């Protein structure tokens, strides 16, 4: 933290709880806030899944019999629904990240709110398609 | 030295004006004393505080036939007051300022400028702070400390904490503009200051870069000047009893649009950004206040020692443009009383950046 | 192309625009010392690039591993056949690598918001980096053990 | 529109002390079509409670002192008409800006952020751009490019208040300072661009912005800080900033000092 930041701080202390939850304080009138909060939430969800995915994949080390017996459970309905939601989180997170990158390079800076709307729309569409492919095909 | 301000810096009259850095042209014909003060101060500020000034110049333009006769008297008066002028053809004027009315008959360029009231004040105060002055905002003078017949300090309440404390002082300077009467009364004195309000209207759209004045004797709504992406139309005049809360007569507002529209037609259809009024401290007696327009714009410094109340000086009247000159005159009197033989340097000492006011 | 040299030298080499000196009025504010420690721009760029790569590799992964596979899940033999193809092996490895890089940088950003002390933050960053490398190591080991299983 | 009564639910916080802070309702008369919200605050002070502390100066959006939260949204009350924010009957809630220390009631202490602005420092005068001049009618386009005007930023700190990130980290330089830095990079006027670039290219500088864009949404003065922060990020990644102070400082602009 350099001296300019220390001056900006000007004695305003922010506690650990607020530092951990500041991004959840709603600003419904600013779509960018929702984009940021959902980006984080979906990020955490996907990270959580990846850890679980790693644990599951470690069963491969137990050989074919161990692994193949798992397929039935992971192919069951609740898991498929879970997978669809997961794809929703991933697509949203990816497109929301793309939005930030576009804005950083000056693309769509006049419509940052609308860009978020587009991200929601496209990710919902993709998720619906994936859901159809997973659940009904 | 301590500066005590009742609210935020410049929350009084000085903060709430249209920010015209007078070249003096407005007063050259009718109030030459004021005009000379303005042009001298304009040149000083342009060199000591360039950072907070827009120096795009100003135009006096004639719209109607009768105003053409005023042109020669205006040029002659400006020459006498050493205000540099340059005559432009109507076409040249409209080339520089395309938003001007098509009916421009004559145009004279003068070195008017525009300042930002708050930041000009902060520049002065930043320089004062750098030289050891303490600035106390949100601190209201509730009483003067009068011992015998002399004023020896003031009782100040910090409105943020409610704490009252007394500040002892060798000399108390009453520089409270239209409130000068109220403060002087605390020492049993009466100063001839007449609070005279004037309405100003801010319209969205930077129609002009220069200050546009009407080439005529001073009248209501005779000025349109730029402030960032807006223009401000001013002003009018009516005496007010209590400068704390000025009720704006609607007809004055309508007059601003109508008169301002004659100079820059675009303002009539512009979006109103702000309608505001502050009361100017004009020197004079209430009875001649009805002719508010005629009261001189010059300033006056009352050394109340002469009235048997030493340690108390009132400075009032004047314009924001001539604030430095007012301070110089007051400081001369204060130095006399304190036996200080310093020579004024504020005409050539560059002001600190207003930003330094916020530095530790 | 010449302007691109500047970010490269700024973030990777000796930045050309080291502030000549002290900022008057702001105590102890020479920027040189701080400059070297602050490559957040580079971190952001890597996060963005890895994000972009993720979109590609995850897309391939979803298609190759789930969409084209009947029932959506590969049994053990199918996993081995798939990983035997060199192209699949490369894309899956790059997928894991970019996920780990992306997640590591993002986790560090979270940590930077919670941790006030610069020293502690540096430690946490190193821990996160080690965790990512360790995870990558584990996936390499797992892949090898799966491929060698059938041999 | 006839005069009517309006209740102002104003945050009161004597001497910034949080424990004695709370809302108080002051009622004043208003003509919603003509009054601005600042007129109501001033009337509440003058007629109802003289202890009310609030910041104000110019009353026409040129000084930036009066910014407050009106029903939770950052606004300049001096240019916010009552009819544009009032539904005609429910009280209007007024609170001091977020992410700043409260001096008392509605007044905040701007020094922390403005000291950082002073460290840049952004010259206050700039050259007039073509698109800003309303050249209605007439042939010429005036003297765009040589005439001067003040920077758009009023330093009112509405953007800092609206910034979610600034709410979580006091060390974040914030939209106001970063937008000012971008203006220096865009129009150096004799400032040391390299030093400003070093200052903003940091953990608590442009890279902490999350593209929320609330700052640009509430800015009352056309600064669009979010787009300027992103412009700085783009410039840093592509090396697109002037090596030295190439453009001369226009006449009368801030001499580099301090």
Contact check, Cβ <8 Å, A22/D167: yes
Q: How far is C136 from chain A, CA to nearest CA, in Å?
A: 11
Q: How far is C48 from chain A, CA to nearest CA, in Å?
A: 7
Residue C2 is predicted with a pLDDT of 67
Instruction: Record the tokens describing residue B308, joined without a space.
Output: 């048997």
Beta strand extents in chain B (DSSP E only): 2-4, 20-21, 53-54, 58-62, 86-88, 106-110, 113-115, 134-136, 139-147, 150-158, 163-168, 172-174, 193-204, 211-214, 223-227, 230-234, 238-239, 272-283, 299-303, 312-317
Contacts of A96 in chain C (CB under 8 A): none
Contact check, Cβ <8 Å, A4/C149: no
Residue D217 CA to residue B187 CA, distance in Å, equals 51
Q: Given CATH 1.10.1060.10, say whether it is the number of domain D111-238.
A: yes
Is A61's Cβ below 8 Å from some Cβ in D? no
Contact check, Cβ <8 Å, D195/C112: no
Closest by CA position to D211, among listed C66, C106, A100: A100
pLDDT tens digits, one per residue of A12-35: 788 999 999 999 999 999 999 999
Beta strand extents in C15-85 (DSSP E only): none
* Residue in chain D lying closest to B209 (CA): D147
Q: Contact, C24 vs D187, CB < 8 A?
A: no
Q: How far is D111 from chain B, CA to nearest CA, in Å?
A: 5
Instruction: Record the tokens describing residue B336, joined without a space.
Output: 């006399």
Residue B291 is predicted with a pLDDT of 53
Please name the member of A1, A20, A50 whose beta carbon is closest to the beta carbon of C114.
Answer: A20
* Residue in chain A lying closest to C132 (CA): A51
Please name the member of C27, C67, C114 whose beta carbon is closest to the beta carbon of A19.
Answer: C114
Map out the domains of chain D as residue ranges.
4-108, 111-238
Neighbouring chains of D at 3+ CB pairs under 8 Å are A, B, C
Residue A115 CA to residue A108 CA, distance in Å, equals 7
CA angle A64, A65, A71 (to 5 degrees): 85
Contacts of C145 in chain A (CB under 8 A): 60-61
Q: Contact, D97 vs D54, CB < 8 A?
A: no
Please name the member of B119, B265, B273 whose beta carbon is closest to the beta carbon of D60.
Answer: B273
Contact check, Cβ <8 Å, B200/D141: no
Please name the member of B7, B51, B356 whose beta carbon is closest to the beta carbon of D125.
Answer: B51
Predicted confidence (pLDDT) at residue A7 exceeds the cutoff of 50: no
Half-sphere exposure of D1 (CA within 13 A, CB side): 12
Q: What is the extent of the structural domain holding A73?
A: 27-136
Chain Cα centroid distance, residue B266: 27
Q: For tokens 């969205």, what's the residue?
A: B204
* Residue in chain C lying closest to A47 (CA): C103
In a domain, A122, yes or no: yes
Q: How far is C24 from chain A, CA to nearest CA, in Å?
A: 12
Greater pLDDT, A137 or B147:
B147
Contact check, Cβ <8 Å, C51/A101: yes
Please name the member of C23, C24, C41 whose beta carbon is closest to the beta carbon of D237.
Answer: C41
Contacts of B117 in chain D (CB under 8 A): 57-58, 62-63
Q: How far is C145 from chain A, CA to nearest CA, in Å?
A: 7
Contact check, Cβ <8 Å, A61/C146: yes
| Residue A24: how many other CB atoms lie within 10 Å | 11
Contacts of C58 in chain A (CB under 8 A): 90, 94
Residue D135 is predicted with a pLDDT of 61
Segment A110-123 shows an average pLDDT of 96
Contact check, Cβ <8 Å, D119/C23: yes
Is A36's Cβ below 8 Å from some Cβ in D? yes
* Residue in chain D lying closest to B207 (CA): D134
Cite the DSSP H helix spans in chain B: 32-48, 67-80, 90-96, 117-130, 180-185, 250-263, 323-338
**How would residue D146 be classed by pLDDT, with cut points 50, 70 and 90?**
confident
Pairing of strands B58-62, B150-158: unpaired
Predicted confidence (pLDDT) at residue D255 exceeds the cutoff of 60: no
Is D111's Cβ below 8 Å from some Cβ in B? yes
Q: How far is C123 from chain D, CA to nearest CA, in Å?
A: 16
Percentage of chain C lying above the pLDDT 90 cut:
50
Q: How far is A113 from chain D, CA to nearest CA, in Å?
A: 8
Q: Indicate the pTM of the whole model.
A: 0.92
Predicted confidence (pLDDT) at residue C19 exceeds the cutoff of 90: no
Query: Looking at this predicted complex, what is its ipTM?
Result: 0.91
| Residue D239: how many other CB atoms lie within 10 Å | 19
Please name the member of A13, A27, A99 whose beta carbon is closest to the beta carbon of D214.
Answer: A27
**How would residue B117 be classed by pLDDT, with cut points 50, 70 and 90?**
very high
Segment A33-44 shows an average pLDDT of 97
Please name the member of A5, A11, A32 whose beta carbon is closest to the beta carbon of D173.
Answer: A5
Percentage of chain D lying above the pLDDT 90 cut:
63
Greater pLDDT, B247 or C27:
B247
Contacts of C149 in chain A (CB under 8 A): 63-64
pLDDT tens digits, one per residue of C57-96: 999 998 888 888 887 788 888 888 888 899 999 999 999 9
Residue C92 is predicted with a pLDDT of 93
* Average pLDDT score, chain D: 87
Please name the member of D168, D207, D238 whose beta carbon is closest to the beta carbon of C40.
Answer: D207
Contact check, Cβ <8 Å, C72/A75: yes
Q: Which domains, from first to last, does chain C contain? A: 1-38 (no CATH), 39-150 (1.20.1300)
Q: How far is B149 from chain D, CA to nearest CA, in Å?
A: 30
pLDDT tens digits, one per residue of D206-237: 999 999 999 999 999 999 999 999 999 999 99
Greater pLDDT, B103 or A4:
B103
Is D9's Cβ below 8 Å from some Cβ in A? no
Segment B244-266 shows an average pLDDT of 94
Q: How far is A15 from chain C, CA to nearest CA, in Å?
A: 9
Chain C: which residues have CB within 8 Å of chain D?
2-7, 10, 15-20, 23-26, 29, 31, 34-35, 38, 40-41, 43-45, 112-113
Instruction: Record the tokens describing residue C54, joined without a space.
Output: 């993720």
Dihedral angle of Cα B310, B316, B322, B327, to the nearest 10 degrees:
20
**Which CATH number characterizes residue A31's domain?**
1.20.1300.10
* Residue in chain C lying closest to D169 (CA): C113
Residue C30 is predicted with a pLDDT of 44
Residue A4 is predicted with a pLDDT of 43
Contact check, Cβ <8 Å, A67/C27: no
Please name the member of B15, B50, B96 whose beta carbon is closest to the beta carbon of D63.
Answer: B15
Residue B232 CA to residue B208 CA, distance in Å, equals 10
Predicted confidence (pLDDT) at residue D254 exceeds the cutoff of 50: no
pLDDT tens digits, one per residue of B87-116: 999 999 999 999 999 999 999 999 999 999
Closest by CA position to B274, among listed D54, D13, D96, D60: D60
Is D17's Cβ below 8 Å from some Cβ in A? no
Contact check, Cβ <8 Å, B11/D139: no
Q: Given CATH 3.10.20.30, say whether it is the number of domain D4-108.
A: yes
**How would residue D258 be classed by pLDDT, with cut points 50, 70 and 90?**
very low
Predicted confidence (pLDDT) at residue C35 exceeds the cutoff of 80: no
Residue B327 CA to residue B344 CA, distance in Å, equals 10
Instruction: Record the tokens describing residue B111, joined without a space.
Output: 């070195």
Contacts of A35 in chain D (CB under 8 A): 211-212
Residue B205 is predicted with a pLDDT of 92
Residue D143 is predicted with a pLDDT of 64
Residue C18 is predicted with a pLDDT of 45
Contacts of B100 in chain D (CB under 8 A): 138
Given its phi and psi angles, is residue B152 left (phi above 0), alpha (psi -120 to 50 degrees) or beta?
A: alpha
Contacts of C139 in chain A (CB under 8 A): 54
Is A109's Cβ below 8 Å from some Cβ in D? yes
Predicted confidence (pLDDT) at residue D53 exceeds the cutoff of 60: yes
Predicted confidence (pLDDT) at residue A3 exceeds the cutoff of 70: no
Contact check, Cβ <8 Å, D213/A1: no
Predicted confidence (pLDDT) at residue D250 exceeds the cutoff of 70: no
* Average pLDDT score, chain B: 92
């Amino acid at each position: 933290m350099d001296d300019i930041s220390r001056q900006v701080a000007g004695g305003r202390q922010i506690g650990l709880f607020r530092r951990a939850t500041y991004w959840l304080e709603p600003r419904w009138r600013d779509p960018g806030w929702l984009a940021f909060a959902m980006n984080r939430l979906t990020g955490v969800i996907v990270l959580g899944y990846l850890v679980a995915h790693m644990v599951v994949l470690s069963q491969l080390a137990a050989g074919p019999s161990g692994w193949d017996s798992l397929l039935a459970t992971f192919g069951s309905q609740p898991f498929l629904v879970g997978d669809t939601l997961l794809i929703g989180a991933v697509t949203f997170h990816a497109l929301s990240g793309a939005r930030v990158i576009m804005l950083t390079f000056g693309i769509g800076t006049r419509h940052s709110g609308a860009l978020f709307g587009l991200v929601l729309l496209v990710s919902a569409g993709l998720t619906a398609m994936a859901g159809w492919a997973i659940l009904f095909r | 030295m301590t500066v005590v301000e009742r609210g935020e810096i410049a929350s009084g009259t000085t903060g709430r004006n249209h920010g015209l850095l007078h070249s003096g042209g407005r007063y050259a014909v009718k109030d030459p004393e004021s005009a000379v003060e303005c042009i001298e101060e304009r040149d000083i500020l342009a060199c000591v505080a360039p950072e907070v000034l827009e120096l795009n110049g100003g135009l006096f333009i004639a719209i109607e036939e009768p105003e053409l006769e005023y042109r020669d008297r205006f040029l002659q008066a400006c020459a006498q007051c050493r205000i540099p002028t340059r005559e432009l053809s109507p076409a040249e004027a409209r080339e520089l300022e395309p938003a001007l009315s098509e009916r421009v008959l004559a145009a004279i360029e003068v070195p008017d400028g525009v300042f930002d009231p708050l930041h000009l004040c902060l520049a002065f105060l930043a320089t004062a702070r750098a030289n050891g002055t303490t600035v106390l905002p949100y601190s209201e003078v509730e009483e003067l400390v009068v011992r015998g017949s002399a004023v020896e300090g003031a009782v100040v309440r910090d409105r943020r904490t409610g704490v009252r404390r007394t500040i002892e002082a060798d000399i108390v300077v009453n520089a409270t503009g239209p409130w000068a009467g109220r403060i002087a009364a605390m020492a049993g004195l009466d100063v001839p200051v007449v609070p005279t309000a004037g309405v100003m209207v801010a319209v969205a759209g930077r129609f002009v870069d220069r200050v546009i004045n009407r080439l005529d004797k001073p009248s209501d709504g005779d000025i349109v000047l730029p402030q960032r992406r807006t223009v401000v139309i001013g002003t009018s005049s009516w005496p007010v009893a209590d400068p704390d809360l000025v009720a704006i007569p609607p007809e004055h507002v309508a007059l601003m649009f109508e008169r301002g529209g004659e100079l820059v037609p675009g303002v009539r259809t512009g979006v109103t950004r702000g309608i505001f009024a502050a009361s100017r401290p004009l020197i004079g007696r209430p009875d001649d206040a009805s002719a508010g327009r005629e009261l001189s714009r010059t300033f006056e410094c009352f050394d109340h020692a002469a009235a048997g109340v030493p340690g108390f000086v009132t400075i009032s009247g004047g314009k924001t443009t001539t604030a430095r000159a007012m301070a110089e005159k007051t400081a001369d009197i204060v130095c006399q009383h304190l036996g200080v033989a310093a020579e004024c340097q504020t005409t050539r000492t560059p002001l600190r950046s207003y930003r330094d006011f916020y530095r530790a | 192309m010449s302007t691109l040299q500047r970010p490269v030298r700024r973030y990777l080499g000796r930045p050309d625009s080291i502030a000549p000196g002290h900022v008057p009025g702001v105590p102890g504010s020479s920027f040189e010392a701080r400059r070297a420690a602050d490559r957040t721009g580079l971190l952001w760029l890597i996060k963005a690039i890895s994000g972009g790569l993720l979109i590609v590799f995850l897309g391939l992964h979803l298609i190759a591993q789930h969409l084209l596979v009947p029932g959506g899940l590969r049994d053990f033999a199918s996993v081995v056949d798939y990983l035997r193809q060199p192209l699949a092996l490369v894309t899956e490895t790059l997928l894991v690598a970019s996920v780990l890089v992306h997640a590591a940088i993002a986790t560090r950003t979270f940590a930077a918001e919670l941790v006030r002390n610069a020293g502690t933050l540096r430690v946490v960053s190193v821990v996160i980096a080690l965790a990512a490398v360790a995870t990558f190591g584990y996936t390499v080991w797992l892949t090898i053990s799966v491929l060698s299983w059938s041999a | 529109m006839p005069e009517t009564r309006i209740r102002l639910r104003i945050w009161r916080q004597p001497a910034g002390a949080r424990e004695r802070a709370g809302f108080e309702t002051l009622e004043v008369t208003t003509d919603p079509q003509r009054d601005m919200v600042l007129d109501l605050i001033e009337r509440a002070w003058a007629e109802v409670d003289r202890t009310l502390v609030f910041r104000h100066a110019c009353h026409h959006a040129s000084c930036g002192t009066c910014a407050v939260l009106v029903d939770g949204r950052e606004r300049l009350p001096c240019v916010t008409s009552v009819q544009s924010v009032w539904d005609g009957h429910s009280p209007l809630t007024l609170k001091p800006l977020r992410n700043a220390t409260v001096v008392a009631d509605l007044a905040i202490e701007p020094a922390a952020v403005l000291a950082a602005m002073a460290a840049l420092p952004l010259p206050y005068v700039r050259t007039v751009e073509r698109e800003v001049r309303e050249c209605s009618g007439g042939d010429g386009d005036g003297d765009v490019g040589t005439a001067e005007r003040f920077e758009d930023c009023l330093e009112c700190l509405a953007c800092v208040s609206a910034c979610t990130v600034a709410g979580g980290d006091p060390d974040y330089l914030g939209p106001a300072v970063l937008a000012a830095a971008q203006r220096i990079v865009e129009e150096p006027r004799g400032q040391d661009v390299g030093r400003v670039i070093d200052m903003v290219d940091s953990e608590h500088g442009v890279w902490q912005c999350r593209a929320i864009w609330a700052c640009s949404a509430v800015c009352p003065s056309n600064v669009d800080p979010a787009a300027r922060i992103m412009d700085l990020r783009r410039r840093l990644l592509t090396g697109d900033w002037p090596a030295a102070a190439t453009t001369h400082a226009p006449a009368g602009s801030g001499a580099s000092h301090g």
